[in-house]
Structure formats: C-alpha cells, structure tokens
Amino acid sequence: MTPSLEARQLTIEVDAGRRSFTPVEDLDVAVAPGRALGIVGESGSGKSLTLRALMGLLPPRVTVRSGEIRVDGEVIPRSTSRRPRATPGVAMVFQEPLGALNPLLRVKGLLDDVLRAGGRSGRKGTEERALSLLREVGISDPAAVMSAYPHQISGGQRQRVMIAMAMASEPRVLLCDEPTTALDVTIQQRILRLLRRIREEHEMSLIYVTHDLAVVNEVCDDVAIIYAGQIVESGKAEEVFASPAHPYTRMLIDSVPDVAERLDDLVGIPGVAPNPWQFPTGCRFHPRCFMAEPSCSEGPAFTRRQISTDRATACTYAEQLLDLSGGSDGSAA
C-alpha cells in the first residue's frame, strides 16, 4: 500500500556558520494510511527535526539537503526556511503549546486565523466551525474558551486547542511532537485517548514523536527507533517491544523505570548520544553497545535490512539478539 506520508533518504543539514553538519542522514520513514507510527529516540537524535521536515516547517538555518518527502506517493516540492510551505494534507501538534499559540490572540482569533488561511469557510461559517472543533476535542465549554487568551486556560486545554487548530485543515496525517511531555500523567492519558479517538473517527494517519516508550505502546501501531539521525529498527510496536532486534532498542526498553523498582536497579545506557558533527564510523551505536564486535566500527553507517515482512533492523547481529530475547519470556514489553 502507498504510504500516506513518507520520507526517503532524508538528509537534513544545519548551517552553523563556518561548519555545517547533518543531524539526520539518509533517513527513511513512512506511515501507512490509517495507522499510527511512533518515532522514538533520545534527545538530540534528530526525531523532532525529522518531524519538522515532514511538516515542511524547518527552523531557520536548517534545510533538507537531499531526499524527498512524499504524500500518497507524490513528491512534494521542497520547502525552505525562508519560504516555508506546509506539506499539504499534513498538520502538526507542537510540543510547547505556549510557544505555538500567539499570546495576543484569543482562542477565537487563533482558530479564525487557521480556518481562514485554509480558505475553507467565509467569515460567518468560521465561528460555527471553531465551536464545533472545540467541542470535538473535548472542551466542555467552548463558548467560554473561545473568548480566553492562551495563558488563561490550563495546559491540557491549551493542548486541546492546538489539536483543534491542527484539525481545522482536515489533515490526512497528524504529526505530534511530544504533545504530552509538559502535562501531568492523568491529563496526558486524556490527550492520548483524544488523539486515538479523532484518528479513528477521521481515518487519519498519525506520527507521534516521543522518548516515552509507554506512550508509543499506547498510541501507536508501528514504531521506528531513531538513533543518531537514522532509523535503527522499525516494525509493529508490539513485536518490537516484545523482542527487539537492535541492541539500542533492547537497552532503551531496559532503561524504562518501573514504578515499583528502585532507581539504582535501573540499567540505563552507558555513555551519551554522539554529537551530530562527529558520528562514529560504522554502526553509530557501537561505542555504547553491549554486544559490539570490532567489525561494528568499520565502514559507512549501517543501513537497515529486512528481517521479516514488516520488520527491519540495522544491527548485524540482530538474529543473535532475537534468540537471546526469545529465550527469555519477553517480559520487557
């Protein structure tokens, strides 16, 4: 099936004055129609940049150097940071709702702006539409929220308003950049449920970027693990979490704290993620990997290979790892 949204061989370049570097290199990622894809990685792995490239809204001094973005198989003309152009049919929910909402406009004005930019309705229709959007994202008193400024409503409501703004353009793919990181767990739960509901009702695809494995497990059908600007493993979320085929995934799962366990029992991953201007040669994860062999540090960056119909991994020793976790009962998931 043709993916709804797809990045092929995406390389993103950051222009930092005299030197430039590529925090994302030859990255391939795709979301199928009606499915939810989670992109998981540490801070600085390039996950947010990838998402912004998919949205067509890269920050200044950041450009797509090579590769293409496709919507329903069609290549989208490249957007530049001087003249950004949102990818058609795609909308985004930002991480930080306060930065993503103009503080001087009431919610009414915010929605009015996106509705009119979409040119979908005249002046009269917009208010009706704005109210119904707010109702749809579960705001119990839309009329009152309409006349409030962003700083006057709660974090959860702000995030709902942002989802309503994203929904205003009737997108086919919704991109979420850790929309619940700033919220407490109970509110997070509600926002996730809301996302799942509107995705089902509108038959949208979803790409959800996060570092929180539990959230991915809850919201996503598929998962792609990103490390140092490349996808190292991809597949169905439950399969990947039950038996990871890349040591990085394995170690990520092992470093999720269990509420009942004490913190000093945590495994964690030794070392830190590499800087994007000095990625290691060969497999980029080898300096931190528990099963690295000398050959892992040689050659160009490791690319993913198919290990079953819908699973791919960049690890040479994936089979060994699978045997290993197959031996245990897969309790890590």
Partner 1 sequence: MTAAIAPLQEFEENFRRRLPNKLIAGLVMLACFVLAAALASVIAPYDPNKLVAYPLEEPSSTHLLGTDPLGRDVLSRIIHAARVDLPLAVTVVALSAAVGAVVGGIAAYRGGFVDSLLNGLGSLVQAFPVYVLLIAVVFALGPGARSLVIGYVVINWVIYARIVRGEVLRVRGLDYVHAARGTGTSGVRLLCLHIFPNAFRQVLIYMSSDVVLAIGTIATFSFFGIGVQAPTAEWGAMVASGRLYLTTDPLQAIFPGLTMIALGLTFALIGDGLDDHLGV
Q: Which residues bind partner 1 (CB under 8 A)?
A: 55-57, 59-60, 79, 84-86, 92, 94, 96, 99-105, 109, 113-114, 117-118, 139-141, 144-145, 148, 152-154, 169
What minimum distance in Å lies between the beta carbon of 196 and partner 1?
22
56/247 with CB nearer partner 1 = 56
79/230 with CB nearer partner 1 = 79
What minimum distance in Å lies between the beta carbon of 181 and partner 1?
14
101/318 with CB nearer partner 1 = 101
Q: Which ranges of 151-267 does DSSP label H, i.e. alpha helix?
A: 155-167, 185-202, 213-219, 237-242, 247-254
**C-beta atoms surrounding 211 within 10 Å:** 16
- Phi, psi (5° rounding) for residue 197? -65, -50
DSSP E strand stretches across 246-324? 305-308, 311-313
Question: What is the DSSP-derived secondary structure letter of residue 243?
Answer: S
Contact of 304 with 225, CB cutoff 8 Å: no
168/237 with CB nearer partner 1 = 168
What minimum distance in Å lies between the beta carbon of 144 and partner 1?
4
What minimum distance in Å lies between the beta carbon of 78 and partner 1?
13
168/216 with CB nearer partner 1 = 168
Q: How many whole angstroms separate alpha carbon 187 and alpha carbon 319?
A: 40
**C-beta atoms surrounding 316 within 10 Å:** 16
Contact of 165 with 126, CB cutoff 8 Å: no
**Nearest alpha-carbon partner for 4 in 204, 252, 143:** 204
What minimum distance in Å lies between the beta carbon of 174 and partner 1?
14
